[in-house]
Structure 1
């Protein structure tokens, strides 16, 4: 669950398993993502002391590797074996293989055991998720946050600036909807809930931007 990418021409999209869809998605190219960490994550985490972190929907490992390079002990989770193998190879090349535990999970059904100082859920948007599945995953992620820890959620809040005619209908969640969907119990504080502009080049490399939302909630110690 890491992309708004959609195969409009693929009639089998709705019949394939989630794992098969994402394995096919990653297998289409040798590299799908830039390898750089998500800008929202960097802004929100750069000043935090390193600890344990759960990276949900880790893809090819850009965030996980960046975190490991800064002293975090990372559990990186994705449904795609292709993505996980690719991420592990990148981590080895970066010299942080020992700091990252790569685990395959379909987030709709399971999470790694234990609790973490930081749980990062960056852009868990999936064209093959059931309605309400993302919100259920994020609520479940609260239980993976250790006392005093943080759940950090990055979401797309709109189409990139160069998209004049959206390729398909999609309703992006508002910041308030993201927060409300968590149904935060007592003992949680909303530290950040805002929309930011992320610099993002268009497919031809020209400057562009995309509206994203960031929600950071903290569990009381």
Structure 2
């Protein structure tokens, strides 16, 4: 059984306009969403966990809308759609993005664009911008010894696919079934049998985080994800001399872009160094770094460290 969920009038101040002058000042933008997903489990259990949370979706739209700077409203609508399809089990997505007060003399209402996406298009959507690996990974991937690599919270797998092309055996771990399915399909299309998916929710029990194995991996990747209780399991999973490559948001990004919405999902300054205590730090930096998916450079911490 499928259900259609609707969110109307998600509002935020965004930077969207053809001219630099129009983009320089925030303007009111509105987003309406209609999306379909399976509803049988939700109806039977009456549990929010079995369906899509309206609040999470709307918060994610606002996060993207505030942080992006686009010349075309079509581009903004596409970027929002790519993220929602990658992060939520949506089968079909209809999105309407519009300027509430367009700078047009004879227009009293709004102007905008409507787009429709389907789950079958997900791999194509990833190719449009989200499949490029981080330049940070590309620079330091050669530090990882030959063997198996764990891509933690891999999403649709842009980094897993990149390392598989370099000859590594890659395990992409994520709790999102749809994202893992997209990764599997992309690996098949690229003839990469050395990519495997691992469905696991890391955050079920913060007191007893799941094991990721002992001395299992030559390398571990973590990008744009922070769950502090899993860090000890992550380090145990690395083989001696194994390499950890980690990049995620620092608190400056929350202050600048209000993303992530909750600041506990951001690292404090030098916190990543503290979490990696006992490892040999090969490279560390904090600051604004280009992101191949977006146009507004996020504030992140970057770490390359070796297990001793």
Name the TM-score, length of structure 1 as normaliser: 0.72
Query: Whole-Å Cα distance in 2 between the matches of residues 18 and 154 of structure 1?
Result: 30
In the alignment, which residue of structure 1 is the partner of 2:224?
123
- Flag structure 2 segments of 5+ consecutive residues without an equivalent: 1-6, 11-46, 54-83, 94-118, 204-208
- Does the alignment pair 1:70 with 2:166? yes
| Change beyond 3 A, Cα 1:17–1:174 | same
Q: Which residue of 2 aligns with 1:177?
A: 271
Give distance in 2, aligned partners of 1:18 and 1:57.
Answer: 20
RMSD after superposition: 3.4
Q: Indicate whether 1:209 and 2:300 are aligned.
A: no
Identify the residue that residue 25 of structure 2 maps to in structure 1: none
2:155 — aligned with what?
Answer: 59
Structure richer in strand, relative to its length: 2
Runs (4+) off by over 6 Å: 18-24
If you compute each CA radius of gyration, which structure gives the higher value, 1 or 2? 2
Shift of 1:70: 0.4
- Number of residue pairs matched? 192
Answer 1 or 2: higher relative contact order, Cα 8 Å, separation at least 6. 1
* 1:143-188 CA distance string (max 9 Å, x none): 000011112211112339984x768452531341122134x34xx3
Query: 1:167 and 1:180 mapped to 2: Cα distance?
Result: 21
Q: Offset at 1:116? A: 0.6
Checking the alignment, whether the CA contact within 8 Å between 2:212 and 2:234 is kept in structure 1 is: no
- Does 1:155 pair with 2:248? yes
**Where do residues 1-221 of structure 1 align in structure 2 (5 Å cutoff)?**
16-17=48-49, 25-28=87-90, 30=119, 31=122, 33=126, 34-46=130-142, 48-96=144-192, 98-108=193-203, 109-114=209-214, 115-125=216-226, 134-157=227-250, 158-159=252-253, 163=257, 168=261, 170=263, 172-182=266-276, 184-185=277-278, 188-200=279-291, 207-220=295-308
Q: 1:159 to 1:18 in 2, by over 3 A?
A: farther
Q: Give the structure with the larger helix fraction.
A: 2
